[in-house]
Amino acid sequence: MTNKLPFEEGASINRPPLFCGVNYQFWKVRMRIFVESIDKGIWDAIKNGHFIPMIENEKVFSKKSLSQWTKSERKKVQLDCIAKNIIVCS
């Protein structure tokens, strides 16, 4: 039996949709829905790129050490990591 769908797997709430090399537009919509269903912050991390906690000293910015991160910064960095994991797994 020939599969006419652009994907072989069924929809899953636990596994990201796999990109099989065809019908990118369809996969992209499925991927966005999957990511947003986990946390809107993950989609924000994908759209805006990698977050790096910075500190300003006399108008010069440098990376904060891990011990200087606030709770909010830790959450943003964690969302970046989750986003990267989802993308690699799909």
Quick: pLDDT tens for 37-84: 999 999 999 999 889 999 988 889 999 999 999 999 999 999 999 999
On whether the CB atoms of residues 36 and 45 are closer than 8 A, the answer is no
32-38 contacts at long range (C-beta below 8 A, 24 or more positions apart): 34/86, 35/83, 35/86, 37/13, 38/82, 38/86
Q: pLDDT per residue over 7-42, tens digit each? A: 555 567 788 888 888 899 999 999 999 999 999 999
**Maximum pairwise Cα distance, the chain:** 68
What's CA 75's distance to the chain center, in Å?
13
> CA–CA separation, 66 vs 74, rounded Å?
9
pLDDT score, position 13 = 74
Name the pTM for this structure: 0.76
pLDDT score, position 47 = 93
